[in-house]
Copies of this chain bind each other. A is one copy, B any other.
């Protein structure tokens, strides 16, 4: 074989294509009137805050591979909706420790995510168990790639 890298290029291209197209479909399918306010970035950041306990904007930004400024925006949205609380770090005045509020934990527990609804339904309706399993495995692999060191 030794054609591993060729396959890798094809896989990369196909994966990118699938991601762009599925994203577009999800956007098209999302009902504007039902969208409350949370984006996936917000939801995922909230989940990460709950998992990692009190943390800082910089740490979150690093973990999600975005700039501090971008993450600050997300945090501001979450704070505006009362899903998180932030207090100055008593040991380091530069830092602001962010924690999930009771409301934030409650929200994530129910995981309403209107956008997810259509995808869940379509997956349940159009896919067999094997295909669902493949997607789940692929999601894990994609996360692994996203966090791979160099």
Contacts and interface: CB of A to CB of B under 8 A. Distances in A.
So how many copies of this chain end up in the complex? 2
A119 B22 contact: no
Secondary structure class of chain A's binding surface, majority of residues: helix
Interface of A: 4-5, 7-25, 27-28, 40-41, 44, 64-66, 111, 113, 115-116, 119-124, 126-127, 129, 131-132, 134-148
A142 B22 contact: yes
30 contacts: A5-B124, A9-B111, A10-B136, A11-B132, A11-B135, A11-B139, A12-B123, A14-B136, A15-B135, A15-B139, A17-B40, A18-B139, A18-B143, A18-B146, A19-B19, A19-B23, A20-B44, A21-B65, A22-B143, A25-B65, A25-B145, A25-B147, A122-B148, A126-B144, A126-B148, A127-B145, A134-B141, A137-B138, A138-B138, A138-B139
